Structure 1
Amino acid sequence: MMSEFDVSLYSDIEPLPIETGLDNELCQIMYTDEYKQVIGIARRLISNGEFSERALDLTSCVIDLSPAFYTIWNYRFNIVTALMAVSGDIEAFLNKELDWLDEVTLNNPKNYQIWSYRQALLEVHPNASLKRELPVLEMMIDEDTKNYHVWSYRKWCVQKFNDFTNEFQFADSLIEKDIYNNSAWTHRMFVLKNLTSNKNEDNWNEQLKKETIDFEIEYAKQKITLCPQNVSSWNYLRGILDKYFDEDYTINGIDEFAIQYIDNIFEKNESELTETNSTNLPQLKSSYALQFVADGYSRIPDKKNMAIKAYKSLSIKYDPIRRGLWNHMISKLSA
C-alpha cells in the first residue's frame, strides 16, 4: 500500500510530464493516473532542487510505487542530508530514517538500491551501530538464506565496524540448517580471511591464527564427512589450502583424506581410462573429491601423472559435462 499522499500539499507544483506525447512511440507505457501524478510532481521537485519535508514524504510515495527507481533514492538521500543539518538532533533524525527504511527493506527483499541507501546513511550517521543492523539482516536472511544483496551488505557492515564477533557462529548456524548453503560457506571464508589478515595482527598472533586455521580445516573435513558430494565444503577446504599453505594439498594428510572418497581410481591403468571402459569404473562417493585431488596433485611435479588420471576420470565418467575443462587441464599437464 502506498504511503499516504495528500496532493493538496503540492498545489503550487506543476507536475513534469513523464510521457512524451509523441505519436510514433514504439511502445507507449500505460501508466496509471496515480503514478503519473506522483512521479510528475517528484520530477518537478527534483528539477526545482527542493529539499523539504514534503519532498521527503513524496519520495516515500514514489518508492512505494517504484522501489527500484534509483533516481528517487538518490534524491531522498540529498533531502536527508539537507534536513539533518538543520534537524537539531542528527542522530535522532537518522534513526527515524532508518526505522522507515527497515519497513521498506522487509517488503522489498530483492531491491539492491535499499542496501546502497543503508550504506549511505550509516556513513553519515554520527553513532552508527552494527548491533542495530543485525536484526533486519537476520530476518532477511531467514527469509532467503541466499539473498546476494543481504550477504553483501552484511560483509560491508562487519568490515565497516570491524566486528566479526558473531560471524563464525552465524555462518555455522546456517550451515547446520543447510549444509549446501554456499552463501554461508563463502561468508565463513570471508570472515576467516579478514580475521587473519595483517590489519588484525595486534589482536591475532601467529599461534592464534594457526589454531583458528587448523580448526577450520577440521570443520571443513567434518562437514565433508557428513556430505561428501557437496562442492561448497570442498571449495572451503581448498580455499584454506590456497590461502595459507601455498597450495600444498599434502599438508596434514589432506590429500589422503580426500582419496578415501574416490575409491581406487589411481590404481587403474591408463588403458582402463577410456570411453569404452567408463562403465567399468567404480561409483565414487564424491566427484568433487576427485577434482580436489586432481587440482592439488597438478601442482606437484612428481604427482602430475596422478592428476592426469584424475582429470581423465572426470572427463569420461564422473563429470563429462565439463569435459572441455578437464581435457584442457590434461593438455596443460602433458605439455
Structure 2
Amino acid sequence: MQEYDYSDITPLPIQTGLQDELCQIMYTDEYKQLMGLARAMLSANELSPRALQLTSRIIDVAPAFYTMWNYRFNIIRHNVAGCDDAVSYLNKELDWLDEVTLNNPKNYQIWSYRQSLLKLHPSPSFKRELPVLKLMIDDDSKNYHVWSYRKWCCLFFSDFQHELAYTNDLIDADIYNNSAWTHRMFYWTNAKRVASEVELADELQFVLDKIQLVPQNISSWTYLRGFQELAHDAGQWNDKLVQFATSFIGNVFSLPVNSPQDLPEIESSYALEFLAHRWSVDSSTRENAIRAYNLLATKYDPIRKNLWQHKLKNLN
C-alpha cells in the first residue's frame, strides 16, 4: 500500500481540553493523531487518494465511525466521476470492503455502504455478493444485518433464483433457524412470479415434512400459517391442515377438564395454537377455538396466558 505524506495537514483537536469536563476519554496518541488529521481533511473536503487511505486506517481502528464511512463514500463517488475504468475502481473498493466485512460481522454501517457502492456501480453483480454473504451466514446464521442486506440484494437485482435452495440447506442444517424460515417467506412474498399449483403443493409438503420431524418448532408452524394464507384462498386445504395439526394434540378435546393437571401432554402446543387460529376465523368452529385457547392458557402454554386471554376476549 502506498504511504502518503500528511505533514502539510494541521490536525484539529478531538478534545475540548476543558478542566470541568465530567469524564475525559483516554484516547491514545495514535488515535488522536488519526482523528485530528481526518477532522482537518474533512473540514477542507479533501477527496484525494491520501484521504481515502486515511479513512481505511480510521475504519480499521474505529469501524463503527459512521462519519468516516460517509466521508469515504464521498471520496469514492468523486473519484469514480473522473475515472476511466469505474468498474475496476469500484470492484477494487468492494474487494477492500469484503475484508472489512468479514472482520466486523456486527457492524451495520458496512451494509449501507455496500448498498451505496452497488447503486454507484455501472454493472453490479449479485453473484459477486453471494460468497461473502454465505461466509457471514455460516459464521452466524441469525445475523440480522446480513439477512437484511441479502433481502435488499434480492430486490435490488430482482433476482430470487438462489433463495429457496439456500434456505433448504440452512433449514436442513438447523430446523429451528427462524431467520431461514423468515427469508423463505420473503421469497414467496416478493418473488415476481406466479407459482403453479404443483409448486405450491410441493412447498406445503416441504413444511409439513419439517413439522413431522420436529413438531414443537414455532418457526415451521408460523411459516405454515403464513404460507397457507399467502398462497391460497380461504377454505382451500383447511380440512387437510386441520387434520394434520390435530394429529399432534391427541384426544385432549374429547377429555373432560376437571383440572389442567389431569390433561395428558401433547406433541405440539404450536399445533394447538394453529388450530385455535384456524377455528377462530369461522363462526361454526368458534367453540373449538375457545376451548383451544383455554387449553393453551391453563395447560399447554401458560407462559403466554395473557395473550390467550386477549384472544379469547376478542372472540366474545
What TM-score comes out, normalization by structure 1 length? 0.91
How much identity, in percent, do the aligned residues show?
Answer: 54
Structure 2 equivalent of residue 294 of structure 1: 276
Structure 2 equivalent of residue 70 of structure 1: 66
User: 2:163 and 2:117 mapped to 1: Cα distance?
Assistant: 23
Contact 1:105 1:114 in 2 (8 A): yes
Deviation at 1:240, TM superposition (A): 1.0
Structure 2 equivalent of residue 308 of structure 1: 290
1:211 to 2:207 alignment: no
Deviation at 1:251, TM superposition (A): 2.5
CA offset digits 1:269-314 (Å, max 9, x no partner): 4xx1x6xx11111101001111010011100101111011110011
User: 2:83 and 2:227 mapped to 1: Cα distance?
Assistant: 49
Deviation at 1:246, TM superposition (A): 4.3
Deviation at 1:61, TM superposition (A): 0.5
User: 2:253 and 2:282 mapped to 1: Cα distance?
Assistant: 16
1:257 to 2:244 alignment: yes
User: 1:324 and 1:111 mapped to 2: Cα distance?
Assistant: 36
Amino acid at match of 1:149: H
User: 2:185 and 2:215 mapped to 1: Cα distance?
Assistant: 19
CA offset digits 1:5-62 (Å, max 9, x no partner): 95x7111111111111111212211111111110111111111111010000000001
Structure 1 equivalent of residue 46 of structure 2: 50
Contact 1:77 1:117 in 2 (8 A): yes
Contact 1:13 1:41 in 2 (8 A): yes
Q: Which runs of 5+ in 2 are unaligned?
A: none
Amino acid at match of 1:56: L
1:136 to 2:165 alignment: no
Structure 2 equivalent of residue 233 of structure 1: 220
1:163 to 2:198 alignment: no
User: 1:61 and 1:211 mapped to 2: Cα distance?
Assistant: 54
Query: Superposition pairs for residues 1-335 of structure 1, below 5 Å?
Result: 9-195=5-191, 199-200=192-193, 204=194, 208-248=195-235, 251=238, 253-269=240-256, 272=257, 277-334=259-316
Amino acid at match of 1:63: I
Amino acid at match of 1:227: V
User: 1:294 and 1:63 mapped to 2: Cα distance?
Assistant: 52
CA offset digits 1:109-166 (Å, max 9, x no partner): 0101001000000001011111100011111111111111111111111111111112
What TM-score comes out, normalization by structure 2 length? 0.96
What stretches of structure 1 move > 4 A for 4+ residues in a row?
246-250
Amino acid at match of 1:282: P
User: 1:212 and 1:74 mapped to 2: Cα distance?
Assistant: 44
Contact 1:94 1:121 in 2 (8 A): yes
User: 1:249 and 1:317 mapped to 2: Cα distance?
Assistant: 31
User: 1:44 and 1:17 mapped to 2: Cα distance?
Assistant: 9
User: 1:325 and 1:315 mapped to 2: Cα distance?
Assistant: 8
Q: What SS does the corresponding residue of 1:10 show, helix, strand or coil? A: coil
User: 1:296 and 1:282 mapped to 2: Cα distance?
Assistant: 23
Higher alpha-carbon deviation: 107-116 or 212-221: 212-221
Q: What SS does the corresponding residue of 2:37 show, helix, strand or coil? A: helix
Alignment length, in residue pairs? Answer: 316
User: 1:249 and 1:332 mapped to 2: Cα distance?
Assistant: 25
Q: What SS does the corresponding residue of 1:9 show, helix, strand or coil? A: coil
Deviation at 1:245, TM superposition (A): 2.9
RMSD: 1.5
